[in-house]
Amino acid sequence: MKRALFPGSFDPITLGHTDIIVRSLDLFDEIVVAIGDNSQKKYMFDLDARKSFIQAIYKDNPKITVVNYSGLTVDYCKKIGADFIVRGLRNPADFEFEKAIAHTNRKLSGIETVFFLTAANTSYISSSIVREIIANGGDYTSLVPPEVRV
């Protein structure tokens, strides 16, 4: 069985994230959407809310599991038997940042990172942009799945 981990803060999950998750199902038997817990970060949505959003989106898809984790991503991959990490790339800056992490992860653990280019219609969406729109009372509903519309 090919299991992949898709890690992130998902604060909140966006249509860009969901596009990557759905497209990655063609390559893997299971996708574990792993919500990282970073004590240094201030989140708009607490961990339970972020997990609930994602679980609601994929409640009918047995190939997608939603978990939370802390610590090194590669350590969590080893713990659950995931040989791959899935990451989305929106732009060249994402690539440079993610490339360094992917090389480090492979050196530390042998775990490969699989990159997906975001779809053209979602490449401009980021959780930080969505949070800014929400914080300022703007209409963010076209950027997130219906389950996130609070």
2 is a catalytic site residue: no
CA–CA distance, 73 with 104 (Å, rounded to integer): 11
Q: Is 127 a catalytic residue?
A: yes
73 is written with which tokens?
A: 């991503």
Catalytic residue among 3, 23, 78, 90: 90
Q: Is 41 a catalytic residue?
A: yes
Q: Is 103 one of the annotated active-site residues of the chain?
A: no
Q: Which of 39, 41, 42, 142 is catalytic?
A: 41
Q: Which helix (H) or strand (E) holds 57?
A: helix 47-57
Q: Catalytic residue among 17, 50, 51, 87, which?
A: 17
Residue labelled with tokens 């909140």 = 12
Q: How far is CA 25 from CA 3, 4, 63, in A?
A: 10, 9, 8
Residues recognised as catalytic: 17, 41, 90, 127
